[in-house]
């Protein structure tokens, strides 16, 4: 199964850790997992990549 998680970023925080842990668990069970970050990738992106999870940062600009 292909699974995509969409988050604002993977900055170090509770929700972000949960997403990386869930994605790693899904990958271990044979799923294709990708995390899309709407803004920058953040500090946990490297941990996700080391677990074999694709991480893409869109670098969306905010309207200020």
**Is residue 63 a part of any domain in this protein?**
no
Domain count, the chain: 1
**Is residue 8 a part of any domain in this protein?**
yes
**Is residue 40 a part of any domain in this protein?**
yes
Average pLDDT, the chain: 95
CA 44, 11, 17, 56 torsion: positive or negative?
Answer: negative
**Is residue 32 a part of any domain in this protein?**
yes
Closest CA to 9 of 46, 36, 32: 36
User: Where does the pLDDT of residue 52 fall: very low under 50, low under 70, confident under 90, or very high at 90 and above?
Assistant: very high
Q: Give the pLDDT confidence score for residue 49 in this predicted structure.
A: 97
Provide the whole-model pTM.
0.91
**Is residue 64 a part of any domain in this protein?**
no
Residue range of the domain that includes 33: 2-57
């Amino acid at each position: 199964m292909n699974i995509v998680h969409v988050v604002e970023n993977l900055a170090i925080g509770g929700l972000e850790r949960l997403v990386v842990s869930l994605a790693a668990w899904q990958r271990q069970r044979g799923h294709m997992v990708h995390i899309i970050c709407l803004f920058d990738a953040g500090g946990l992106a490297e941990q996700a990549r080391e677990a074999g999870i694709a991480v893409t940062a869109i670098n969306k600009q905010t309207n200020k």
